Amino acid sequence: MPDTVTADPIPLSETGRRPVFDNSYARLPERLFARLPPTPVSAPRLLRLNTGLAEMLGLDPDWLASEAGVAMLAGNLVPPGAEPIAQAYAGHQFGHFNPSLGDGRAILLGEVVTPAGLRHDIQLKGSGPTPFSRRGDGRAAVGPVLREYIIGEAMAAFGIPTTRALAAVATGDHVFREDALPGAVLTRVATSHLRVGTFQYFAARRDNDALRVLVETAIARHDPAAAQATNPTLALLEGVVARQADLVARWMLVGFIHGVMNTDNCAISGETIDYGPCAFLDAYHPETVFSSIDQQGRYAYGNQPGIAHWNLARLAECLLPLIDADEETSLSLAQEALAGFAPRFGTAWRDGLLRKLGLTTVQDGDEDLVQDLLVRMAANQADFTLTFRRLADAAEAEVGDAAVRELFADPAAYDGWAVGWRARLAREPAGRAAAMRAVNPAFIPRNHLVEEALSAAVQRDDLAPFEDLLAVLARPFDDQPGRERFALPPRPEERVTATFCGT
């Protein structure tokens, strides 16, 4: 296996420009991370480069696709200016606190500043063992890497804040789980990798100096206005609460289930992070769970707002010593900040559902109308995505009712609800159908289609289904003639009932 090198083996003039790193996190106190290079791989091969994301970051796609660029994306080359580190963090995993987690299979190469002046992390996931690996191999398999690529791109197309994949690279090596699997490295892009668990790591050690550094870093990256607030730490907490409330509402409006909402997977930025055993609803039910490791349903679809609030309470606990020197005052201020979650989430969830139903104003009875539909959908195994998408056709003309009715085990359940909905629509302006299609996707990463794409890639080295799915998901709100199968729910024999974290 080759050694990691720090000099570009191909002249820069022949390959375009390399990333220019400005690594603010690596300039922080060294107890916040461990310095080490990625572990090289045997035969790196580019599986997919996210050209659009590269250009947004101000990176040269041609250089990234070159031999030197692929070597960097695989961890075989550390370009000048990069300062690879593994970040330290802790976390509550399914409610149980682990004081020392950290990047066990990821290395932050550094940060780039986009032409718009925004700072982004460039992280290699699956880049080998680190001091935080806890006897793991630090590697990733092709399947989970491509899953993260697909789901991240879908979320970005939905307009939901998310980490994204810049590239997926096959390593030429195998990783060993239940079976030997082809290995891969994902290059993940995030506005930062600060997590609730990052703060928990230092709070558990009573390291208030490190907490102050993290607060300053988080404010600089995500809440610059908070620096001017009377209480910057409290303002940061309020910002994180607002972002998480909005994020979880937006997840649920497209039927997304994260599957592993541990505090180390709760990003301070308000971006979705760590697409492990995540999945999207087919038939709607609030108790739906796909994650194979969520045996008790802690992270079920309908539990996600409560878990997000719980995670935020853990962040508030970490920040108490910095919010106010008086313990009672600090606790009162933190509780007030946390109390903002429920109304913020509730408004975002309600308004989003009303838009999905073609309603642009809030009137008496609207919340009951929404709740009645959800209850009927759950009782009748109605497909979440198709129900709302087809309601746009029904809003346009009553002939569209037939396609909605067939989604309900008892079509009369829809009929009983639709009477009240139509009466309510009559009090709205024209042009509802187009507005509904703009918020109700026709296409989501259906679990069976994701598995189909991953199986082809892993078992046959066939990326065509992966590419086809990505192409469809790039325009999720558009009708795409000839691609109707991507919109359909699975047949009984195609249903995916469990998803796996892939670690």
- State in Å, rounded, how far the first CA of the chain is from the last one: 23
Specify which residues 46 forms β-bridges with.
169
Please report the pLDDT score of residue 4 as a whole number: 60
Please report the pLDDT score of residue 144 as a whole number: 96
Q: Which of 36, 56, 19 is nearest to 104 (CA)?
A: 36
Please report the pLDDT score of residue 248 as a whole number: 98
* The token pair that represents 364 in the structure block: 């008496």
Where do we find the tokens 């509402």? 249
Q: What's the half-sphere exposure (Cβ side, CA atoms, 13 Å) at 479?
A: 8
* The token pair that represents 15 in the structure block: 């390959």
Residue 212 CB partners (closer than 8 Å, separation 6+): 322
Please report the pLDDT score of residue 446 as a whole number: 97
Please report the pLDDT score of residue 3 as a whole number: 60
* pTM score, whole prediction: 0.95
> Burial level of 420, CB count in 10 A (0-12/13-18/19+)?
middle
What span, in angstroms and rounded, lies between the C-alpha atoms of 117 and 134? Answer: 37
What span, in angstroms and rounded, lies between the C-alpha atoms of 98 and 85? Answer: 21
Angle CA(328)–CA(331)–CA(337) in degrees, nearest 5? 145
The answer to whether residues 467 and 50 touch, using CB atoms and an 8 Å cutoff, is no
Please report the pLDDT score of residue 11 as a whole number: 41
Q: List phi, psi (to 5°) of 86.
A: -110, 125
Over residues 359-391, the pLDDT tens digits come to 999 999 999 999 999 999 999 999 999 999 999
What span, in angstroms and rounded, lies between the C-alpha atoms of 111 and 81? Answer: 10
Over residues 30-60, the pLDDT tens digits come to 999 999 999 999 999 999 999 999 999 999 9
Q: Which of 142, 141, 78 is nearest to 110 (CA)?
A: 78
What span, in angstroms and rounded, lies between the C-alpha atoms of 225 and 222? Answer: 9
Q: Which of 285, 284, 335, 341 is nearest to 309 (CA)?
A: 341
Q: How far is CA 298 from CA 252, 311, 373, in A?
A: 16, 13, 25
Angle CA(94)–CA(381)–CA(295) in degrees, nearest 5? 20
* The token pair that represents 47 in the structure block: 């599986």
The answer to whether residues 213 and 194 touch, using CB atoms and an 8 Å cutoff, is no
Please report the pLDDT score of residue 19 as a whole number: 87
* The token pair that represents 414 in the structure block: 């829809």
Show the DSSP H helices in 179-231 as ranges: 196-204, 208-222
Task: Name the DSSP letter for residue 173.
Answer: E
Please report the pLDDT score of residue 60 as a whole number: 95
Task: Name the DSSP letter for residue 296.
Answer: T
Q: What's the half-sphere exposure (Cβ side, CA atoms, 13 Å) at 83?
A: 15
The answer to whether residues 104 and 128 touch, using CB atoms and an 8 Å cutoff, is no
Please report the pLDDT score of residue 343 as a whole number: 98
Over residues 431-447, the pLDDT tens digits come to 789 999 999 999 999 99
What span, in angstroms and rounded, lies between the C-alpha atoms of 143 and 149? Answer: 10
- E-strand stretches of 13-148: 33-35, 45-49, 85-87, 91-93, 96-98, 106-113, 119-125, 140-141
Please report the pLDDT score of residue 218 as a whole number: 98
> Burial level of 14, CB count in 10 A (0-12/13-18/19+)?
exposed
Give the three-state DSSP class for 80.
coil
What span, in angstroms and rounded, lies between the C-alpha atoms of 440 and 447? Answer: 18
* The token pair that represents 348 in the structure block: 């975002």
What span, in angstroms and rounded, lies between the C-alpha atoms of 371 and 200? Answer: 37
Tell whether the torsion through CA atoms of 163, 166, 168 and 171 is positive or negative.
Answer: negative
Neighbours of 67 (CB within 10 A): 15
Could you list the mean pLDDT of each consecutive 10-residue stretch along the chain, which spans 503 residues? 52 57 96 98 98 96 96 95 97 95 96 95 97 93 97 98 98 92 97 98 98 98 97 98 98 97 98 96 97 93 98 98 98 98 98 97 95 98 98 94 98 97 91 93 98 97 98 98 96 91 66
Q: Which of 149, 173, 175 is nearest to 454 (CA)?
A: 149
Tell whether the torsion through CA atoms of 86, 87, 92 and 97 is positive or negative.
Answer: positive
Q: Which of 70, 4, 2 is nearest to 35 (CA)?
A: 4
Q: Which residues are catalytic?
A: 264
Where do we find the tokens 């009137």? 363
Gyration radius of the chain over CA positions: 23
Helix (H) or strand (E) holding 250: helix 232-253
* The token pair that represents 484 in the structure block: 């109707």
Please report the pLDDT score of residue 500 as a whole number: 84
Task: Name the DSSP letter for residue 400.
Answer: G
Task: Name the DSSP letter for residue 254.
Answer: T
Q: How far is CA 308 from the centre of its chain?
A: 14
Task: Name the DSSP letter for residue 484.
Answer: G
